Amino acid sequence: MNKIIFQNESINSKYDSKQTSSKTLSDRDILKKRSEKYLKLIKGIDTKLLNETRGKEELMAKIYEEFGTAELANLPLGILAKCFLGHPHEVHTLDLSGNQIITHYKIGQPLPDHFEKVRTLVKHNAYAFVEIYKDKLILIREDGTATKL
C-alpha cells in the first residue's frame, strides 16, 4: 500500500562532487515545517498518475519551489510514501534524482536499498511520507512538521 516516490541510486556518485561545492543545509532549514501545498502534492501522486512528461516537469518545479533550490545535492534522493492504490500495493517511491519515476511496490516486494530501511516507518500512521537524503532521513507528519532521523 505504499509508494516509492523518487529513486536515484545510480546518480549517487554525481552528488558527491556537487555536494562539496554547494554548502549543505543546516538542520534548522531542513526541519522547517513543510507547506500544505507540498504535502498535498506528494500525497496526490496516487490519484494523478504522472505519465506525461509535462506532469513530471510540473511536479519537479513544485518540489524545487518547496525546497527553494533546484540543486540536487540539497534535495532528497527520493520520497517514500504509503500507496493508496489498494491491496496488494503497499508503498511507492518517487525518484527525485533525474529519472523522476514513480514506482508502486506490493507487499513483500523488496525496495531499493536506501528505501527499504524506512519501510516500517512509512507504514506508521503518524507519518505522511519520508524524504530520503544521502545522509539522513526526514519524516514528515500529516501536519507538515519534520523529524530528523
Partner 1 sequence: MAQQVISYADLSIINTALRAIKTDMQAVNVDIGSINTKHDHLKNDLLKLANSFFDFVESDIKHKALQLAETRQGNLKQDLQIKFGYYTEVRRMATGILQGVDSGIVGDDTLQHTTEEVMIKAPNYWLAPALVVLASWIRDDKNTTEKALTESLKRDDYKTTLFFMLIMRRLGRNEACLQWMNRYFLHQNPHNLDREFIVILEAITTGVFQPASHQLMITNVKNWIDQLTQNDNYIDKQKVQWTIFFKTKGSFSENNYPLLKEFAPNWVELKSSFLQARAHSALDSHFKNIFNNTTDYSKTTKIQLDEILSLLVTNFDDEELPLQNEVRLNQLIIQTDGDKKAAQSLMDTEKHIFDEKVDFLQMLTNAAFDPKLSGATKVTQALAVSVSQPWILEAHDTFTAEYRNNVEETIELNIDGFKTSTTDGTDETEQLQKHDKYWTDLLENELKKLTFPTASVIIGVIISVLSLVIFGAIGIIGLLIGCLIIFNSINNHKKSKKKTIENITERKTKSKEVLRGCIAETVDYRKEFALEDAKAEILRQTLQSITPEYFSSNSRDTRNILQSS
Which residues lie near partner 1 (CB under 8 A)? 26-28, 31, 117-118, 120-121, 124, 126-127, 139, 145, 147-149
Q: Which segments of 61-101 are extended strands (E)?
A: 78-82, 89-95
Q: Which residue is associated with the grid cell 520520497? A: 79
Q: Which is nearer to partner 1, 22 or 145 (CB)?
A: 145
Q: Which is nearer to partner 1, 86 or 108 (CB)?
A: 108
**Grid coordinates representing 139?**
519524516
From the CB of 140, what's the least distance to partner 1, in Å? 11
From the CB of 1, what's the least distance to partner 1, in Å? 15
Q: What is the rounded distance in angstroms from the CA atom of residue 89 to the CA atom of residue 29? A: 33
From the CB of 69, what's the least distance to partner 1, in Å? 19
Q: Which is nearer to partner 1, 53 or 120 (CB)?
A: 120
Question: In sequence order, what are the beta bridge partners of 54?
Answer: none
From the CB of 61, what's the least distance to partner 1, in Å? 29
Q: Which is nearer to partner 1, 18 or 124 (CB)?
A: 124
Rg of the chain on CA atoms, in Å:
14
Is residue 146 within a helix (H) or strand (E), and if so which, with residue range? Answer: strand 146-148
Please tell me what DSSP assigns to residue 73: G
